[in-house]
Amino acid sequence: MNKKLSKNKDKIYIFDTTLRDGEQSAGASMSVEDKLKIAEILDDMRVDIVEAGFPFASKGDYESVKRISQVLKNSIVCGLARAQYSDIDIAGEAMKNSKRFRIHTFISTSDLHMKYKLKMNKNDVLEAIKKSIQRASKFTDDIEWSPEDASRTNIDFLYKTIQLAIESGASTINIPDTVGYSIPSEFGNLICGIKNNVSNIDKATISVHCHNDLGLAVSNSLSAIVDGARQVECTINGIGERAGNAALEEIVMCLKTRDDFLNFYTDIDATKIIKASNIVAATTGFNVQPNKAIVGKNAFAHESGIHQDGMLKHSDTYEIMKPESVGLSSSELVLGKHSGRHAFKVKLNELGFNLNESELKLVFKKFKDLADKKKQIFEEDIYALMDEQSVSNQNLIQLVDLKVSCGNKLKASAKINLIVFEKKLSAESLGEGPIDAIFKSIKKLVPNESQLILYQVNALTKGVDAQADVSVRLEENGITVLGHGKDIDTMVASAKSYISALNKLINKRERISKSSVKWSKVSDIIDKHAI
């Protein structure tokens, strides 16, 4: 690998193939509307070339390429075509009304592919290269050519095909590692060899298209860049055939973050990466693994006490890039069994709890005991701990008694008596069921804008007289609370649970309004719901 870099930064063109190769992921088929939605965010990100599809493959693909080519404002639209006139003509027809378009044609060049897949000899392949590129020239002068399975192609024959492709009119030569076979040093040397042995290579841009079968797609792409490639083909979230493609977000952020070594730049608006990732994940149904670089849920999450302490002091201690640079609002300090006292105390302060050292020591021990049983600690868990310590959450609302009527031929009704701020109040409501009627009655006496997002019943003991443990989660204006209620009667337990949640909601409102201003600077890097 040639590590000697130029003094001036070179641009790396980003060629996104999410809509073509990405769709080849098993189960990732997209509708025309799906593709349009993704194309719009890619265009907004300033992706240089968007490979919209393979027009000849199906009516849907043709329509997708046609419609995408009409809406792109910043990006060049590209259509894939085999080295056949029918493919090329359809691609040209699909994109004829676009501002700028590229035809990307290809044919296999490895001995393995020529013998078993194409059943063609070398002369046949050379003839197909010449004719297909000349055919594409009738539609556009922006032609990209790929020798499929280039990384396993006889090197002298590869040089010959590339030279012929450029002579025939190709302006971009794409080198695919079709089956993800190469390793970085090998792939970098391949690019060096092309630069040094193809006499007319200066008339074309070298591109690379790497697959991830050995987990080396991004590494191979970066190695190729250092050794002379100036276009990278990649996909959002790294989706694609088999193990996928080089991930766009990783390529872009590698170049951005390590510009001290990688003397290159892209025009990509990286702040839209998370948005693009979420759209692609939602559209394809392929969820991003939590530890995925850049866009995974845990990419900017910190649980270790040592890491959290460092983050609270200076984020650069454990983050090599800012979450804002990829479109996230903040980092996340996750409270779990590895968290330390510092992060725990900071979160208590944010919730409005100011404890002395002895109180903190006691509550922190309970927190660690709980963290050994739970993967992640939420705000509700901390409130529960504080409730146990009797340092918060006065029962401003109390249940006096409850009467419920229901049956298969009766509209459910509930009459409830509560003490609300030391006043005894009564209300009665009808509901779709007894629980609905109970909650409506309570809401009459304690008006609130909360939404019920969880109702769960568990039996604490065995038998028909088992005690019910009811959990209720409410959300109001970004505040989430969890209430619990226990009783032999499930209806009573439900009422207790809802009232418990309302008590916590009232107390939490007060704490938020009274929270220290000092915390505001730190809160920018703490998630407000799951910590």
List per-residue pLDDT tens for the chain, 531 residues long: 444 444 578 999 999 999 999 888 877 778 899 999 999 999 999 999 999 999 999 998 999 999 999 999 999 999 999 999 999 999 999 999 999 999 999 999 999 999 999 999 999 999 999 999 999 999 999 999 999 999 999 999 999 999 999 999 999 999 999 999 999 999 999 999 999 999 999 999 999 999 999 999 999 999 999 999 999 999 999 999 999 999 999 999 999 999 889 999 999 999 999 999 989 988 888 888 878 989 887 766 654 555 555 655 666 675 678 878 888 765 655 566 666 777 777 777 766 677 788 878 887 887 777 777 666 666 667 766 665 554 344 578 999 999 999 988 889 999 999 999 889 999 999 999 999 999 999 999 999 989 998 898 877 555 555 668 888 989 888 787 888 888 878 999 999 999 988 988 887 777 666 543 332 332 332 233 222
Q: Please provide residue 494's backbone torsions phi and psi, each rounded to the nearest 5 degrees.
A: -65, -45
Q: Given this model, what pLDDT does residue 195 score?
A: 97
Answer yes or no: same fold for 10-284 and 397-514.
Answer: no
Q: Given this model, what pLDDT does residue 478 score?
A: 77
> C-alpha distances in angstroms, 406 versus 34, 361, 415, 436?
47, 49, 12, 11
The CATH code of domain 397-514 reads 3.30.160.270
241 by Cβ neighbours in 10 Å (0-12 / 13-18 / 19+) ranks as: buried
Sign of the C-alpha dihedral, residues 512, 516, 517, 521?
negative
C-alpha to C-alpha distance for 9 and 389, rounded to whole angstroms: 60
Query: For residue 199, is it left (φ>0), alpha (ψ between -120 and 50) or beta?
Result: alpha
**Which of 255, 270, 199, 260 lies closest to 224 in space, CA to CA?**
255
Domain edges within the chain: 10-284, 301-392, 397-514
The SS3 of residue 238 is: helix
Per-residue tokens: 330 = 């903040």
Report pTM.
Answer: 0.66
CB–CB of 341/492 below 8 Å?
Answer: no
Query: For residue 480, is it left (φ>0), alpha (ψ between -120 and 50) or beta?
Result: beta
The CATH code of domain 10-284 reads 3.20.20.70
Q: Given this model, what pLDDT does residue 207 score?
A: 98
CB–CB of 429/413 below 8 Å?
Answer: yes
C-alpha to C-alpha distance for 6 and 224, rounded to whole angstroms: 15
C-alpha to C-alpha distance for 494 and 293, rounded to whole angstroms: 43
Q: What is the CA 94 to chain-centroid distance, rounded? A: 31
In the chain, what's the furthest Cα-to-Cα distance? 95
Per-residue tokens: 504 = 């916590």
Q: Given this model, what pLDDT does residue 515 score?
A: 44
Q: Given this model, what pLDDT does residue 220 score?
A: 98
Secondary element (H or E) of residue 51: strand 49-53
Q: Given this model, what pLDDT does residue 3 score?
A: 44
